[in-house]
Amino acid sequence: MNEAVAERLSRIARLQDLLGEDKFKAISHDRAARVIEGLSIDIATIADDPAKLRAIEGIGPKIADKIAEFARTGKMSELVELEAKVPPGVLALMNIPGLGPKTVATLWKEGGVTDLASLKRIIADGTILKLPRMGAKSVEKLKESIDLAEQGSARLPLGLAAPVAERFVAAMTDVKGVKQVAFAGSLRRGRETIGDIDILVAAADGDAAHVAEAFRAMPGVAQVLVAGEKKSSVRARIAPGSARFSVEGRSGDAEVGPTVQVDLRVVPPQSWGAALMYFTGSKEFNIRLRERSLKMGLTLNEYGLFPEDDDKTPPQQRGIKPVASETEEEIFHALRLAYIPPEMREDRGEIDRAEQASAGAKSKAAKHAAAPVEGLIELADIKAELHAHTTASDGRMSIEELARNARERGFHTIAVTDHSKSSVIANGLSAERLRDHVAAIHAARKKVKGIHILAGSEVDILADGSLDYDQATLELLDVVVASPHNALSQDPATATKRLLRAIESGLVHILGHPTGRLINRRAGLSPDMAKIVDAAKANDVALEINAHWMRLDLRDTHIRAAVDAGCLIAIDCDVHAADDFDNLRFGVQTARRGWLPAEQCINTWSAQRLIGWLKRD
Ligand code: DGT
Ligand code: CA
Ligand code: CA
Ligand code: ZN
């Protein structure tokens, strides 16, 4: 309840400020909000005891009354009264960075602004300049702040959030008193987009304040949103240029704002595992796990797994010793579950699987080694890249450069798969150019040893499902990736027929980025995935997980369907430049979200097995 109470008290303070009421009233509400947010007990447990409430520094009798009222009724009547005096859109304006209560009051009372839309209107028509303290310069700044606030609401692609988080984690590691540091939340679970970044630090109570301060002072912090000891929030800059991407011969910027929210929580070292588990989520997973704990006579929170009793005060505040708390492994084990990897924690049946795996293991050692998915794929399992472009189409490396890069990464095989003729913007190859290209690939084998260089193509699947080269041309190749690139707004029935035709052609090894979606930009095709998966299985065609952070196509739920059907999967970087190999981890995380065992992914096979499969013998 602490967060709910704190939020309401600070809303009261902001409304008092806005209405020009006694400044000290607002300050005391704000202060109480901050104290309550940082409280280590749940205020609900003492809400009906005025003496205990007032014993907390910063809570006077009036605020104690409001807390008691909220605990009883779920409302604070003062807040209701204040809110009746102010249009709802006006309060929201105070969330725009740089817009304080005085300015908002002026905009509202003298400029007639009631929400963001009307504010933008008076900026656009220039009438804002007639208001007191509104010069050209301050309006310019205001416009920037509005952009920041508006763009900041979009979810950030995984590939853009990861480097920001890793920078914070690396920098926090060096702060004095920091015992452990990791990112949690949707980023640790490898979701394709990230709402905000959650960083977790373990530090002794005495170090919490300066650790939090160091976090808020990190380079790249554009704005501090919350400055508490246990919880801080900032907006951090996304490195300029990192949102640039290039696909299909076109480049652009991902639809992201200049900053991303980063939350920091500082937790005691002995609660590390419980906190990491709690803040990794997902929320739905946490709820399920808590239910399971209760059935076992235990209670699970971000401080640990404790014996359950009827006492309302949380166990960690009563000095109760947790059953497990220091590591996630201990907690899973105490709950009689196999360790569930973060990517699987989505309440999609993983807890049942972890229970079965643990129950099936007989010895203690076997229980610790048990896994909900046997042989779940890992980054190190990938030994081949089967979708890569060179300067012959829209790539930046020559065949030899590409092959050397792949070899350096420890791959045993690289497939050269440039675009086909209909991908005009990507400089797709005519059948004739392709023949010369195949000869060049064969020649490169003599120059770059120690890696298998396959001659292939990323052949367009045209709108009707036919392939962009004839059979004789395709049969010259070691590997054929077939992908949809145009007509991506086709209706689902047509899209299904189109992809089925390609899968059933008998000429295709891998279906490349099957839907063609681009994250936050275009939805791509919505074929009947059950049919696609069945056909792929029947025709021994692998479905691709394209590892580019703008694609991640197939997506997690589709992968899961493919895995269940026993369909083969390829994970490829769709390499255009050397850096693109680095996207592999996002593809692998997405695969793990779809429960893919390494065995079912053709990129993990030995060269002999892979090449044998490609030859179809
Ligand atoms: P996001 O940021 O929208 O991409 O998704 P998450 O999963 O990172 O969510 P976030 O940042 O709101 O919270 C981080 C984790 O904290 C979340 O995965 C689970 C935990 N959590 C947050 N709120 C609740 C809650 O109300 N109940 C429970 N059980 N867990 C929560
Ligand atoms: Ca988050
Ligand atoms: Ca968060
Ligand atoms: Zn493509």
pLDDT of residue 153: 58
CA atoms within 13 A on the CB side of 404: 9
Shared domain for 241 and 337, answered yes or no, is no
**Interval between CA 242 and ligand 2 midpoint (Å):** 20
Element (H, E) at 198: strand 197-202
Residue carrying structure tokens 């590939």 = 159
Grade residue 151 by pLDDT with cuts at 50, 70 and 90. Answer: low
Measured from the Cα of 281, ligand 1's closest atom is 18
Q: What average pLDDT does this structure show over 130-138?
A: 90
Q: Is residue 260 part of a domain?
A: yes
Quote the distance between the C-alpha of residue 556 and its chain's center.
Answer: 12
Ligand that lies nearest to the alpha carbon of residue 156, given by its number in the listed order: 1
Residues touching ligand 1 (Cβ under 6 Å) are 185-186, 191, 194-196, 198, 278-279, 281-283, 286-287
CATH number at residue 176: 3.30.460.10
Model pLDDT for residues 222-235, shown as the tens digit of each residue: 999 999 889 999 99
Number of domains in the chain: 4
Model pLDDT for residues 516-571, shown as the tens digit of each residue: 999 988 889 999 999 999 999 999 999 999 999 999 999 999 999 999 999 999 99
Measured from the Cα of 186, ligand 1's closest atom is 8
| Whether pLDDT at 107 is above 70 | yes
Look at residues 434, 490, 431, 497 and name the one whose alpha carbon lies nearest to residue 465: 497
| Whether pLDDT at 482 is above 60 | yes
All residues at 6 or more sequence positions from 562 whose CB lies less than 8 Å from its CB, including other chains? 533, 536, 543, 554, 569, 594
pLDDT of residue 254: 80
Q: What average pLDDT does this structure show over 112-137?
A: 92
Shared domain for 195 and 214, answered yes or no, is yes
**Residue-wise DSSP of 246-307:** EETTEEEE-S--SEEEEEEEEE-GGGHHHHHHHHH--HHHHHHHHHHHHHTTEEEETTEEEE
Q: Which of 208, 236, 267 is the last residue of a domain?
A: 267
Shared domain for 93 and 46, answered yes or no, is yes
Shared domain for 145 and 161, answered yes or no, is no
Model pLDDT for residues 570-594, shown as the tens digit of each residue: 999 999 999 999 999 999 999 999 9
Which of 29-33, 417-421, 453-457, 467-471 is predicted least confidently?
29-33
Shared domain for 260 and 161, answered yes or no, is yes
CATH number at residue 478: 3.20.20.140
| Whether pLDDT at 152 is above 60 | no
Measured from the Cα of 194, ligand 1's closest atom is 4
| Per-chain mean pLDDT for the chain | 93
Distance CA 103, CA 111 (A): 10
Identity of residue 310? D
Q: What average pLDDT does this structure show over 120-149?
A: 87
Task: Tell me how long the chain is.
Answer: 617
**Interval between CA 450 and ligand 4 midpoint (Å):** 27
- What's the token pair of residue 135? 């010069």
| Nearest-10 Cα torsion for 327, 329, 334, 337 | 150
Q: Which of 369, 393, 422 is the last residue of a domain?
A: 369
Look at residues 541, 542, 588, 534 and name the one whose alpha carbon lies nearest to residue 564: 534
Q: Percentage of the chain with pLDDT > 90? A: 80
pLDDT of residue 149: 66
Distance CA 366, CA 511 (A): 38
**CA dihedral sign, ordered 189, 190, 192, 198:** positive
CATH number at residue 300: 3.30.210.10
Shared domain for 486 and 544, answered yes or no, is yes
Shared domain for 238 and 214, answered yes or no, is yes
Shared domain for 338 and 391, answered yes or no, is no
User: Domain range spanning residue 426?
Assistant: 380-614
Which of 15-29, 334-348, 405-419 is predicted least confidently?
15-29
Q: Is residue 237 part of a domain?
A: yes
**Interval between CA 196 and ligand 1 midpoint (Å):** 10
Q: Which residue has the higher pLDDT, 181 or 102?
A: 181
Shared domain for 138 and 167, answered yes or no, is no
Angle at 545 between CA 197 and CA 488, to 5 degrees: 100
Q: Is residue 278 part of a domain?
A: no
**Interval between CA 238 and ligand 4 midpoint (Å):** 27
Measured from the Cα of 282, ligand 1's closest atom is 18
Q: What average pLDDT does this structure show over 360-364?
A: 93
Neighbours of ion ligand 4 (CB under 5 A): 483
Q: Is residue 72 part of a domain?
A: yes
Shared domain for 411 and 555, answered yes or no, is yes
Shared domain for 423 and 458, answered yes or no, is yes
Shared domain for 173 and 92, answered yes or no, is no
Which whole-number Å values give the CA distances from 569 to 313, 542, 580, 598, in the listed order? 50, 5, 19, 9
| Whether pLDDT at 143 is above 90 | no
